Structure 1
Amino acid sequence: MELTAVVTGAARGIGRDVVVRLRAAGYRVVAVDVDTAIAEQAEDGWVVPVVADVTADATPADTIGRALAEFGRLDLLVNNAARFLRRPILDTTDDDFDALIATNVRPAFRFARAALPHLEASRGCIVNTASISGLIGVANQSAYAMTKGAIVQLTRQLAIEYAGRGVRVNAVAPGAVDTGFMDEARAADPDPAASLAVTLSNHPIGRVSTPDEVARAIVFLAAPESAGITGTILSVDGGYIAR
């Protein structure tokens, strides 16, 4: 049986590696991102790239509908699309806050709502990308951390609500990951080298995670090997929150 997944924020970083890992596991994938680079992932009969803004009202239902039209079923939703902001609360504007909610929270809720009837039919699952910032306090991330805390709680709530209906819902919580998010944030630091040193010192393994390491965790949470796991937030953080 060929399984079908929808992955948001799939053009780069963790999302792109999730698509690669899912393809290796035999999934057919609808990969959505506002970045036109998503078109590079087109693979005839296997990966359907969709250039769309996840914050647009029509995108969640349209994307789930595309998966059903192309492949006839839905087995997995990976809510990965997000944006990052590291800024003290006094420097965080209402527009900053609203943009984070619009990208990090609302689409995850709306994609889940559109997907769940079909996941119930297939006894499928959802894997959300949260963050350690949604589990612990991290300085200068008040708005971003709130959004990731919302993803953590959405994961737990849906896991309870749908456990009896055969749908599992889990999340990964990465620490620092070697992606464009981190590069952009560090470039704005007065001393990028010192900032990197602090980041590495907070990760006991002495390095940041790779996007593929997070992608592997996401694919594990979707796999039969994790059939007994739901409502779990799996940290992929190099030991950060174990300190």
Structure 2
Amino acid sequence: MTVNDGGPMTSTQSSPKVAIVTGAGSGIGAATALELASSGIRVLGVGRREEALRRTAKQHSLIDYVTADLREPTAPDEVVRTAVERWGRLDVVVNNAGTYLQAPLQEVSDDAVSDLITIHIVAPTRLTRAALPLLKASRGSVVNISSTYGHRPIPGSSHYGAVKAALEHLTQSWALELAPDGIRVNAVAPGPTESEVITAAGFTPAEKEAIAAAQIETIPLRRRGTPEDIARWIVHLAGPDADWVTGQILTVDGGLELL
């Protein structure tokens, strides 16, 4: 794990709220980090690509970063410890890091399924668990990033949909479990969004264009979402204006869920 060491903060500097955002190097994670910082919240961006995280951090003085592979068992504890050492508190955890898997049942490998579960279920579990003492102290908030396909069938990518469905179940169960401690847990479920997920999944440029065109045809508002479309709702659910909202799955998908 690599830490961008901005130095310890003084007690007067540590008064702003603090958020951890995973997958902050691009897409929804980067947009969320910037939206949080713009609202006055210090952000610790987390991801595997230091250069991408550095680009995000350069966009706002309240964004810092740490490189970590959250599939590693010790990484979540180290990330939380970094936030504590730097700012002395933690108020928001955004479990955004993810990957996409398109593979029909007859072709999907055991390793691919295991990796998907680790990234979307095990890593958020470890990070949220590590953050619990701090979130209890701040009566903080957790926002998990699901997908419209977490509650909508997706032939050919069934395991991706399945892990997002599991994350939604965790969201609502954690909301009930942690409510006595004043911790709110919600999820945002984006529809097809302009991001690097499709690129990371290994599709060619022509395939990406075909996928985008096909998606747009299925969306009632006739466009794919932008990272900023999603980030606004993540920040709203994490913030004080939603302090009586917990256990909700907010779908932001241009109306796709209605079909």
Structure-1 residue corresponding to 2:45: 31
Amino acid at match of 1:87: A
Q: Is 1:79 aligned to residue 101 of structure 2?
A: no
Unpaired stretches in structure 1, ≥5 consecutive residues? none
Which residue does 1:151 correspond to in 2?
A: 167
- Aligned partner of 1:131 in structure 2 is 147
Alignment length, in residue pairs?
243
> Counterpart of 2:177?
161
Task: Report deviation, 1:46.
Answer: 2.6
Residues 207 and 185 of structure 1, relative CA distance in 2, 3 Å threshold:
farther
Unaligned runs of 5+ in 2: 1-14
TM-score (norm: length of structure 2): 0.89
Provide the TM-score with structure 1 as the length reference. 0.94
Shift in CA distance, 13/193, structure 1 to aligned 2, threshold 3 Å:
closer
Q: Deviations over 1:42-78 (max 9, x none)?
A: 4697322101101111111111111111111000000
Segment drifting more, 25-34 vs 181-190:
181-190
CA distance in 1 between partners of 2:241 and 2:87 (Å): 24
The answer on whether the counterparts of 2:99 and 2:201 sit within 8 Å (CA) in structure 1 is: no
Q: Shift in Å at residue 156 of structure 1? A: 0.5
List per-residue Cα deviations over 1:146-186 (Å, max 9, x = no partner).
11111101100100001121000000000100011134559
Once residues 211 and 73 of structure 2 are traced to their aligned partners in structure 1, the CA distance between those partners, rounded to angstroms, is 38
Cα RMSD for the two superposed structures:
1.9
Question: Could you say what secondary structure the match of 2:106 adopts?
Answer: helix
Report what 1:2 is aligned to.
16
Q: 1:14 aligns with which of 13, 18, 28?
A: 28
Is 1:41 matched with 2:79?
no
Tell me which stretches of 4 or more aligned residues in structure 1 moved more than 6 Å. Answer: none
- In the alignment, what sits opposite 1:222? 238
Q: Using the TM superposition, give the Cα deviation of residue 191 of structure 1 relative to its aligned residue in structure 2, in angstroms.
A: 5.8
Indicate the residue corresponding to 2:224 in structure 1: 208
Separation (CA, whole Å) in 1 of partners of 2:202 and 2:38: 33
The one-character-per-residue Cα deviations of 1:115-174 (angstroms, maximum 9, x if unpaired) are 112101101100000111111101111111111111101100100001121000000000
Distance (whole Å) between structure 2 residues aligned to residue 178 and residue 42 of structure 1: 20
Does structure 2 conserve the Cα–Cα contact (< 8 Å) formed by 1:126 and 1:170?
Answer: yes
1:57 aligns to what? Answer: 73
> Shift in Å at residue 84 of structure 1?
0.4
The amino acid that maps onto 1:148 is K
